[in-house]
Amino acid sequence: MAFEKQLNADNALENYVYLDVLHRLREQSSRWPAVQGRVLDVGCKSFYYAAALAAAFKPAQLMGLELEGHRRYRDGHRRSDYAAFYSGQISGTRYHVGDVCDWRDKADLVSCWYPFVFAEVALAWGLPLSAFAPQRFFPALASAIAPGGLLLVVNQGLAEWQQTAHWLGEQRLRSVARVVVDMPLLPRPAPPVASLWQA
């Protein structure tokens, strides 16, 4: 890949970071998704890593879904403004501002990077507690998976992964692969834990 041909240096590096996590998970998986269908990424912020998802899965359709897509940055632009740029560079890619709890379409692969699983972390990142509802969020993730599809989740550290695994187990999802990224390309507050789940 050569993300730097279309993205600035910082954003290109972020996409390499995401692609590296996916590559490490793929090495641990005997059930890697050959998607080439529909990918739904939940909680995608400005979808700055859309290029990495497109490179890893080569989907026919890639949808980024973000609850707070109208959040405004210091430069006056909204998340959705940046997402229009990132998604506009990739054929078949779209961005939607909305809540996964209201989402009705199905995807062959649903991905979710660094979901909020503890209230104190959500508050620290500025998410209102009214929007922190894991008892609704994780069932909604599971219900967005098409029959025979997969869920990809990347957590911030083992404690968040363990809580996520508890909630996904309640949805009768089965873990098919997991990797702890001890040395990510960029430092994180805790080692990323990537996992793949099947309904």
The pTM for the full model equals 0.93
pLDDT band of 98, cuts 50, 70, 90: very high
User: Do 25 and 177 form a contact (C-beta atoms < 8 A)?
Assistant: yes
What structural domains does the chain harbor?
A: 3-198 (3.40.50.150)
Task: Give whole-number Cα distances, 42 to 99, 101, 122, 138, 183, in Å.
Answer: 9, 11, 16, 11, 25
For residue 29, give the amino acid letter: S
Confidence check: pLDDT of 34 > 80? no
Confidence of residue 14 (pLDDT cuts 50, 70, 90): very high
CB 51 within 8 A of CB 57: no
What pLDDT is stored for residue 144 in this prediction? 97
Give dist(CA 40, CA 121) in Å, integer.
24
Buried/exposed code over 85-123 (b: 16+ C-beta within 10 A; e: otherwise)? bbbeebeebbbbbebbeebeeebbbbbbbbbbbeeebbe
Question: Does residue 11 have a pLDDT over 70?
Answer: yes
For the record, the structure tokens of 84 come out as 């229009």
Q: Show the tokens assigned to 191.
A: 């080692």
Q: What angle do CA 135, 136, 142 make, to 5 degrees?
A: 100
For residue range 117-148, list pLDDT tens digits in order: 998 888 887 777 877 889 999 999 999 999 98
Report the amino acid identity of residue 75: D
Q: What is the mean pLDDT of the chain?
A: 92
